[in-house]
A = this chain, B = another copy of it.
């Protein structure tokens, strides 16, 4: 009923053309702001479009012109604030280019990711920004190249034969470790969690290299649970047992927030008895008390970078693959402090 109505009284380009006494082709040129039409004709046609309430039909245009002004964004997780900020950055650039974002959530599952990518392809997106799910095969990306579907990897990468926008995690880790080492800490742990992917690996490697460079133990790496409530319960891993730490570098701010809660529960004062450094510096970091020292990775800027890479590639498909690697920046606040000796009963080591 309604849809019949919608269909019936839809005003098309042909209607516009007739009312303006020009051809469909001319009307089309007006829409596309071609310089070919004369100013008077343009004005006339535009007036008629206004008058009739003409609505451009992207779908029809897309079919003929093989372009949809639509891009697909695949992220593994919607509720992590990091991805949200990334998305905000992507949206800003894509929107400014007059395009829209089709958003899907892979849940970090490769099978699901594959389904979703096929669906985007069916929908005719012009390109895709993908944060590959953990364990994504290189062949996936190769397949997409074969499809001629412009692709930008973001935050994680599975191949170098394709654009990538991400973070220099190693540099971030070095800043975190150096900061703690300069405060006098020697027993520094790395707390990580989550699925394993390139960004995960780069952070571990970065931590180990930085520790080694300082002559500290690079193997003090501890996995914590994924759920934030469970992370809090795991705080004891760092403060009890034979291997106690006086400082922890966290995989991201979510881990930092969880450990912060857990240390609070254990009665340990962060920024006095224990130092904590987060990673990513999402908005909440500054709202924590004590304020969280964190390595800022500027997710919004990365999103913008990824979107720009994609727009460039759409304009010039033959460009060589490019990398955009952002330098992170340590923000020192209250959660990290000078080492005050074995206030936790930490065992003393020689050297």
**Contact between A87 and B81, CB atoms less than 8 A apart:** no
Residues A88 and B78 in contact, CB atoms below 8 Å apart: yes
**Overall SS of chain A's interface:** helix
Q: How large is the interface on A (under 10, 10 to 19, 20 to 34, 35 or more residues)?
A: 35 or more
On chain B, the residues within 8 Å of A103 by CB distance are: 91, 101-103
With the chains together, A85 CA to B265 CA distance in Å? 27
Nearest-Cβ distance from residue A78 to partner chain B, whole angstroms: 4
Q: Does A26 contact B (CB under 8 A)?
A: no
Instruction: Determine if A119 is an interface residue (Cβ-Cβ < 8 Å).
Output: yes
A104 within 8 A of partner (CB): yes
A28: Cβ under 8 A from any B Cβ: no
A20 beta carbon closer than 8 Å to chain B: no
Q: How far is the CA of A2 from the CA of B119 in the complex (A)?
A: 21
Within 8 A of B (CB), among A1-30: 1-3, 5-7
Q: Are A88 and B105 in contact (CB under 8 A)?
A: yes
Task: Let me know if A306 is at the binding interface, CB within 8 A.
Answer: no
- A56-88, CB < 8 A from B: 56-60, 62-63, 66, 68-70, 78-79, 81, 84-85, 87-88
A225 within 8 A of B: no
Question: A260 on the interface (CB 8 Å rule)?
Answer: yes
Residues of A within 8 A of B (CB): 1-3, 5-7, 55-60, 62-63, 66, 68-70, 78-79, 81, 84-85, 87-88, 91, 95, 100-105, 118-124, 147-148, 228-229, 232, 257-258, 260-261, 264-265, 283-284, 286-289, 317-318
Known: A56-B122, A58-B122; 19 extra A-B contacts, CB below 8 A, are A2-B318, A3-B317, A6-B148, A55-B118, A58-B123, A58-B124, A59-B62, A59-B123, A63-B63, A79-B81, A79-B85, A79-B283, A91-B104, A91-B105, A100-B102, A100-B123, A228-B286, A228-B287, A260-B289
**Interface pairs (24), CB distance under 8 Å:** A2-B317, A3-B148, A3-B317, A5-B148, A6-B66, A7-B66, A55-B118, A55-B122, A57-B63, A57-B122, A57-B124, A58-B123, A70-B123, A78-B87, A78-B88, A78-B91, A84-B84, A91-B105, A100-B123, A101-B104, A103-B103, A229-B286, A229-B287, A261-B288
